[in-house]
Amino acid sequence: MKKLFFGCLATAFLFSCSGNFDKDSIEGDVMYNDLLFEEVDAEDVTMTRQAIGENNQYQTNELNLSIDKKIIKDARIGLEVENYSLYRINLDSSINKANGYISSDNLDKNDYNINCQLVIRIPADFFDRFISTLEKGSEKLLYKNISARDVTEEFIDIEARLNTKKEVEKRYIQLLSKAKNIKEILEVEEKLRVLREEIESKEGRLKYLKKQVSYSTIYLHITQNFEYKYEPEKEKNFFQRLFKSLDKGWKGFIVFLLFLFRIWPVILIGLATFYYIRRIRRKKKILTNKK
User: What is the pLDDT at residue 45?
Assistant: 40
Residue 15 near residue 52 (C-beta atoms within 8 A) = yes
Regarding whether 227 and 170 lie in a shared domain, the answer is yes
User: What is the pLDDT at residue 38?
Assistant: 38
Look at 120 and 240; give whichever has higher pLDDT: 120
Regarding whether 184 and 256 lie in a shared domain, the answer is no
Encode pLDDT of 105-163 as tens digits: 999 988 888 999 999 999 988 888 888 888 776 778 899 999 888 888 887 888 888 88
Q: Record the pTM.
A: 0.50
Structural domain that includes position 272: 241-283
Encode pLDDT of 172-225 as tens digits: 888 888 888 888 888 888 888 888 888 888 888 888 888 888 889 999 999 998
Lowest mean pLDDT among 2-6, 76-80, 246-250: 2-6
DSSP string of 1-69, one letter each residue: -HHHHHHHHHHHHHHHHH-S--HHHHHHHHHHHHHH-TTS-HHHHHHHHHHHHHHHHHHHHHHHHHS--
Average pLDDT for 6-23 = 42
CB-based burial of residue 115 (10 Å sphere; 0-12 exposed, 13-18 middle, 19+ buried)? Answer: middle
**Number of separate domains in the chain:** 3
Best CA proximity match to 202, nearest among 160, 170, 169, 171: 160
Regarding whether 111 and 126 lie in a shared domain, the answer is yes
What does DSSP assign to residue 180? -
Give dist(CA 68, CA 70) in Å, integer: 6
Q: Which of 15, 40, 66 is the last residue of a domain?
A: 66
